[in-house]
């Protein structure tokens, strides 16, 4: 494959883990298409990455919470590029009493985390299948392994991402498209997330990860065809062995501290 002319698509690439993914891929001389919300200096970041790593970059500003926007994005991608890597990183969550959540809050989390991830993957799959070797990496979360009060919608959406990825991996295992999922714990990726993690106290800090290290490790493991990438083995084991009747109240009380603080 002429990797120079093929592209990796990274959603949510303007900041945080998505930006780290874009830089990590560019370091490996892979051309990037950065996707994020408008007015997030994506053009500047795209030019900066292109110059710094000497790769081709393009960018597309879009609100992924609207299905029609997702379809316009994927139509443009399919028309213009060969895609051999898709990283579904865009995602958002929050902490609040469910009663206080607005319809827009619930809708945006589900649309971006669940619907955009599924729809982008679905629409780009024919393009990926045409490449000699292609990869999909979906970003789930440690929260996928336990329901959590005061977060409710976000962990449920990330459980979907995990299950979707495992199922698709199995379905595509005899093709050239390799599907992987990562379930990171807390990362200080943006001021809002950092503030929330600080309020969670000991439990939040215990699992704290560096987004650049997470991105580099994920890319390395993706190319090694690791279908479930574990970036935080200690919390992974804790989440796997703790019964639900212990972890559900434990996680909920840690998260409740965010609201009370």
112 touching ligand NAP, by CB under 6 A: yes
193 touching ligand NAP, by CB under 6 A: yes
Helix (H/G/I), strand (E/B), else coil: 176: coil
Closest distance to ligand NAP from the beta carbon of 37 (Å): 3
- Please say whether the beta carbons of 179 and 228 come within 8 A: no
Q: Quick one: which of 141, 146, 165, 180 contacts ligand NAP (CB under 6 A)?
A: 141
- The question of whether 105 is a catalytic residue gets the answer no
Q: Quick one: which of 40, 50, 118, 252 contacts ligand NAP (CB under 6 A)?
A: 40
Closest distance to ligand NAP from the beta carbon of 15 (Å): 5
- Separation in Å, CA 66 to CA 78, 115, 214: 19, 9, 29
Looking at 15-23, 171-179, 220-228, 244-252, which segment touches ligand NAP (CB under 6 A)? 15-23
90 touching ligand NAP, by CB under 6 A: yes
Q: What string of DSSP letters covers 195-248?
A: HHHHHTTHHHHHT-B-HHHHHHHHHHHHHTT-SEE-S-HHHHHHHHHS-HHHHH
- For tokens 């990797």, name the residue: 3
Closest distance to ligand NAP from the beta carbon of 53 (Å): 19
State the burial class of residue 149 (Cβ atoms within 10 Å of its Cβ: 0-12, 13-18, 19+): middle
What the block records as the tokens of 25 is 């891929």
The active-site residue out of 59, 135, 154, 217 is 154
Looking at 11-19, 127-135, 234-242, 252-260, which segment touches ligand NAP (CB under 6 A)? 11-19
Q: Would you tell me how many other CB atoms lie within 10 Å of the CB of residue 99?
A: 5
Rounded Cα distance between 224 and 69, Å, is 33
Q: Quick one: which of 8, 9, 10, 18 contacts ligand NAP (CB under 6 A)?
A: 18
**Interface positions, 42-71, toward ligand NAP (CB under 6 A):** 62-65
Binding site for ligand NAP (CB under 6 A): 12, 14-18, 36-37, 40, 62-65, 89-93, 112, 139, 141, 184, 186-187, 189-190, 193
Residues tagged active-site: 154
């Amino acid at each position: 494959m002429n990797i120079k002319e093929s592209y990796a698509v990274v959603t949510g690439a303007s900041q945080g883990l998505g930006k780290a993914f874009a830089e990590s891929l560019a370091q490996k001389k892979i051309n990037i298409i950065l996707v994020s919300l408008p007015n997030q200096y994506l053009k500047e970041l795209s030019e900066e990455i292109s110059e710094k790593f000497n790769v081709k970059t393009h960018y597309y500003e879009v609100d992924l919470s609207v299905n029609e926007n997702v379809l316009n994005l994927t139509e443009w991608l399919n028309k213009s590029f060969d895609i051999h890597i898709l990283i579904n990183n865009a995602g958002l969550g929050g902490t609040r009493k469910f009663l206080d959540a607005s319809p827009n809050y619930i809708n945006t989390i589900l649309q971006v985390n669940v619907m955009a991830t599924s729809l982008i993957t679905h629409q780009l799959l024919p393009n990926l299948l045409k490449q000699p070797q292609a990869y999909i990496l979906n970003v789930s979360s440690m929260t996928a392994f336990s329901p959590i009060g005061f977060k409710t919608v976000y962990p449920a959406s990330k459980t979907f991402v995990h299950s979707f990825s495992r199922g698709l991996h199995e379905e595509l295992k005899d093709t050239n498209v390799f599907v992987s999922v990562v379930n990171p714990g807390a990362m200080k990726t943006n001021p809002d997330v950092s503030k929330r993690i600080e309020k969670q106290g000991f439990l939040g800090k215990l699992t704290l990860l560096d987004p650049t290290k997470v991105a580099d490790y994920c890319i390395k493991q993706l190319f090694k065809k690791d279908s479930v990438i574990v970036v935080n083995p200690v919390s992974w084991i804790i989440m796997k062995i703790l019964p639900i009747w212990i972890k559900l109240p434990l996680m909920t009380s840690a998260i409740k501290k965010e609201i009370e603080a």
